[in-house]
Structure 1
Amino acid sequence: MIASDTLDRAPSAPDAKVHKRNLAGMPEDKAMLRAAADLTRDIAKARPEIYWPDMLASAAVGYLALYGAIATTQPAVTVLLGALSAVALYRALLFIHELTHIHRDALPGFRFGWNVLVGIPVLIPSFMYEGVHTLHHARTRYGTVEDPEYLPLALMKPWTLPVFALTALLLPIGLLIRSAILVPLGALIPPLRTLVWERASALSINPQYRRRKPEGDFARMVFWQELGATAWSWLVLGWSATHGWRPLLIAIGVLSATALLNQIRTLVAHLWENEGEVMSVTGQYLDSVNVPPPAMFTALWAPVGLRYHALHHLLPSMPYHSLAECHRRIRAHLGVSSTYEGANYSGLFPMLARLARSSMRRGA
């Protein structure tokens, strides 16, 4: 086990024995936490000159490629442009992660712009992640049954991994049904409205999670975003019914590929070895995954800073464009034998293999 874990790691990582320790009982590495905070204060400000062009360019490429995939009559071109659209829209969509962490005054208009250009058109308004993802970072919730984004996948039956990944292919259809049918019906049937909100209004993977009723300003934001998503879904369905279903089917295929890509990334975001116990911040860090350079193609499957997912758990409010420099500074300061190295791995496929081996050993 130790040898195979070592092969999974980045070349400079220390012995993987740290992963064999009980992470739920891991004491805080105060030197690492202090270094992470002290060394990065000067780059903790979100820069609109990076956020806006990145989001707008990603959305533009995604939609233009989608249009090309729909307009062409050549199947091979449709597939190629559809793949490009899926990757670009995936990057644009993942700015929803940034919206959950940045201060509401840090990027004026960005939340509204993202929802109009990305969130509502793909039927994933920002409320579906805001107020949800922050629970995943809560000190006493991470890895427990109250964490909406955690399942002990490494300890579950081996067949759960492909099922977990492939169910993402149904997400666009589910979102269309939700916005076009369930939300409007819920306005007339209060019990259905409660059910839809609790069970189908959050980007979560924990089936035990139940979302609490929105209140105040957040409830008003939810209302307008829901209204926009429902109106858009009706417009899309109405246009498809009168002009043909091919464009919608291609768009569903593209968004299904995007959802699958995100689900595969989710599989390697953590080690998924916690069995519901409360963990220290250090334990949470070591249960999470960085895939730093020289890993190739990481920016495609873990964009917008998510290649530094473990580091993100140390510095949740750090803007994505600063994480690479944070990683460089902390690593240089603490050295290759530090706890910090314990969350650095070499790539997507070694991590998927590690998860599969763990599931087969412990969940068979």
Structure 2
Amino acid sequence: MYLDTQPLRAERAQPAARPAGSEDREMLRQAALLTRDLHIPSARIYWTDCFGSAAIGYAALIGAMVADHWWSMLLFATLSVLALYRAVLFIHEITHLDHAKLPGFRIAWNLAVGMPLLLPSFLYEGIHAVHHSRAHYGTVNDPEYLPLARMRPWTLPLFTLAAIFMPLLLLVRFGIVGPLSWFDPRVRSAVVSRFSALEVNPGYIRPLPTGDFARRWRWQEAGTSFVAIAILGALAFGILPPAAFAIYCAVHAGVATLNQTRTLVAHLWENDGAQLSLTDQYRDSTNVPPVFPGMLWAPVGLRFHALHHLLPRLPYHSLAEAHRRISAALPADSAYGQANYASLGELVTRLVRATMRPRG
């Protein structure tokens, strides 16, 4: 992939440039002061939202499998994609939660959502923490970052459409390659380092897990492999009809594609690999405050992704209120306002234009 190291042209009016790596101290101070009372996760909201969404998603999935007409199948499948997508995105919350304040949530999520959809939380835990590191964000060591704005235009559809193959890749990972790797240390090393992370950066090599995380990894992987083998076995022996399997894969691919589209606009992807200050990380991330349709394509607080990078421990249900308070307290031309955008379409257009810039 060709990388352009020339600075990106600004597409909106910007205040006077600050020195590289500078911090907007007032923004950081106000963000901390104004949200001190918003850091307690609500067990009622987490449990009801997550598992209510999962229940709706699975019911709609079954509805799609037994539907008599194509239009009702499509309607149920769409509802299933949206509801299961919302439930799946709680994997992001799991990586940031103080689990002492929400006991049992990670286990329940893995049993009800992660394992049935072949997305156990170990695929994201640890990975996402590196992405939030001041030392690693936007660098070659960041598993969740690629300088997409500096790449060729064809990388964007390739990046998005690759998600279509996720359900099949996960079935192979957990139903075939993963179990085989338990008997061969060399294969196991490759599976852990290269095929055990929800990552954006294909060059990222995951280290071996240790301690409590290694124990969680083992039971999550074993349970997910059981599900994958059961699906493949049921398909092979005619217990699971091919049409039902195709609908399961289509809904799963829909969830993955929707998430990949959201990921495409979560950042501006403009960093050239240098280390960034927290404020500059914020500017390279995005908020899309309008509730609709943001609540569909960026649920569970992810339409406030830039704010999340400022306050990563803030529960998702507090982000809208935090955004309201900070926006009211800071002037419109502050660093905080620079990460706010009107729509998904605006961000996609900006990114496409960035990839089409002349390169010398």
Letter in 2 for 1:45: I
Deviations 1:190-233 (A, max 9, x none): 11111111111010010110000001111111110011001111
Letter in 1 for 2:127: V
Q: How much does 1:22 deviate?
A: 8.0
Match of 2:312 among 300, 316, 321: 316
Residue 12 of structure 1 corresponds to which residue in structure 2?
none
Q: Distance in 1 between matches of 2:117 and 2:173?
A: 12
Q: Distance in 1 between matches of 2:26 and 2:79?
A: 43
Residue 355 of structure 1 corresponds to which residue in structure 2?
351
After superposition, residues 1-364 of structure 1 pair within 5 angstroms as 5-6=11-12, 16-18=13-15, 25-241=20-236, 242-243=238-239, 244-293=241-290, 296-361=292-357
CA RMSD of aligned residues (A): 1.8
Q: Distance in 1 between matches of 2:69 and 2:167?
A: 24
* 1:156 and 1:362 in contact (8 A); partners too: no
Aligned length: 352
Q: How much does 1:4 deviate?
A: 8.6
Q: Distance in 1 between matches of 2:345 and 2:122?
A: 32
Q: Distance in 1 between matches of 2:242 and 2:127?
A: 34
* 1:94 and 1:304 in contact (8 A); partners too: yes
Taking structure 1 as the reference length, the TM-score comes to 0.94
Q: How much does 1:336 deviate?
A: 1.3
* 1:269 and 1:289 in contact (8 A); partners too: yes
* 1:290 and 1:345 in contact (8 A); partners too: yes
Q: How much does 1:3 deviate?
A: 11
Letter in 2 for 1:234: I
Taking structure 2 as the reference length, the TM-score comes to 0.95
Letter in 2 for 1:298: G
Q: How much does 1:26 deviate?
A: 4.0
Letter in 1 for 2:47: W
Deviations 1:149-171 (A, max 9, x none): 00000000110000000001001
The answer to which of 125-134 and 331-340 deviates more is 331-340
Identity of aligned residues (%): 51
Letter in 2 for 1:35: Q
Structure with a larger share of its residues in helix: 1
* 2:99 and 2:105 in contact (8 A); partners too: no
CA shift in 2, pair 1:3/1:196, >3 Å: closer
Q: How much does 1:187 deviate?
A: 0.5
* 1:154 and 1:362 in contact (8 A); partners too: no
Unaligned residue ranges in structure 1 (runs of 5+): 7-15
